[in-house]
Structure 1
């Protein structure tokens, strides 16, 4: 992710990073990193490209991210007030919450009865998707770059030519005959 260019953009980025880190926690990128809570020693959703995926055209959420970040900070302010928490005003409200409070707020926002539930569930899904698929980039490139989610999941690397071939059937038996018109690359003709 490129550095934020305005206070508004920086607030959006930090807030969305903190949200993604709440879903799949990672390690701090530098000692003073406020968006990443640092409750994991491995790379989490942010290191796996959550913001790149959220900002991609394919995701369909990019136009709503500023509004969602603003709403999330508003909810964080209300949560802090309701729970007697003093917020650090030098960072966005959601970023100021400690990890356990971030988790509790996200649980409230994604509860069945919450009227904004779908928007928050969408952010949760994209945060997970970034970590467990590296969806914003080609899988070969993600593995070569050391994508934390794919490596943690044990995703098999491709053959030297960048294609996946599986010499042993995953179910321990052949499930079907290969169609006679299948090309050498595995595509149907």
Structure 2
């Protein structure tokens, strides 16, 4: 729940249900949580999957200190970071990722993975992510593959060809 709340702070989304406490619900559509941030973090390839409990504990310690320092009362029914309002979550995340914070590298890494889940669906095959309606790829306007499951782009990415096709190029695109 704590790591979901952190991911939602980085790329906000809409609540999954009215009683969702981890996702603040400050944005329409799916954010990092709906995009699979936790699934990505749990992937051994991240190099931090075995430290996620430690991340959550540290984040909650920071949240408790943040709240105490500002005289904020926290709901004890949820972890301290989850109990913070969205603006306070954002302020704490800004502190943790600031250049002068001694643990900056840890929190920047968690931030990058939250973004990566939304921006690239790195934990999923792209075809599967698109078939499932991945919120990040759809928000960025990622094209759906054709009926043959191949991606083709009807327009040039820069709105114009980058170079003329060489006259010896075969019909299949191979150089002669």
Q: Determine if the TM-score, normalized by the shorter chain, exceeds 0.5.
A: yes
**Cα 1:137/1:176, change in 2 over 3 Å:** farther
CA–CA distance in 2 between the matches of 1:134 and 1:17?
A: 16
1:111 counterpart residue number:
98
Cross-structure match for 1:90: 77
Alignment-derived partner of residue 73 in structure 1: 60
RMSD between superposed Cα atoms in Å = 2.1
Q: Distance in 2 between matches of 1:79 and 1:136?
A: 32
Provide closer, same or farther for how the CA distance between residues 125 and 94 of structure 1 changes in structure 2, counting only shifts above 3 A.
same
Length-normalised TM-score, structure 1: 0.84
Q: Which residue matches 1:29? A: 16
Distance 1:42 1:168, change over 3 A: closer
Change over 3 Å in CA distance of 1:176–1:46 after alignment to 2? farther
* Runs of 4+ residues deviating >4 angstroms: none
Name the SS for the 1:35 alignment partner: coil
Deviation string for 1:35-60 (max 9, x for gaps)? 01110121100000000000001211
Q: For residues 73 and 110 of structure 2, what CA distance do their matches in structure 1 show? A: 26
| 2:163 aligned residue (166, 175, 179) | 175
1:159 paired to 2:146: yes
C-alpha displacement at 1:163, in angstroms? Answer: 1.6
| Structure 2 residue runs without a partner (length 5+) | none
- Structure 1 unaligned runs (5+)? 1-13
Q: 1:38 aligns with which of 16, 21, 25?
A: 25
CA distance in 1, matches of 2:81, 2:146: 43
Aligned pair 1:135/2:122, yes or no? yes
Secondary structure of 2:102's match? coil
Task: Report the secondary structure of 2:33's partner residue.
Answer: coil
Task: Tell me if 1:55 matches 2:64.
Answer: no
TM-score in terms of structure 2 length: 0.90
1:114-125 to structure 2, matched below 5 A, reads 114-125=101-112
Secondary structure, counterpart of 1:78 in structure 2: helix
CA distance in structure 2 between the aligned counterparts of 1:176 and 1:140, rounded to whole angstroms: 31
* Separation (CA, whole Å) in 1 of partners of 2:45 and 2:17: 30
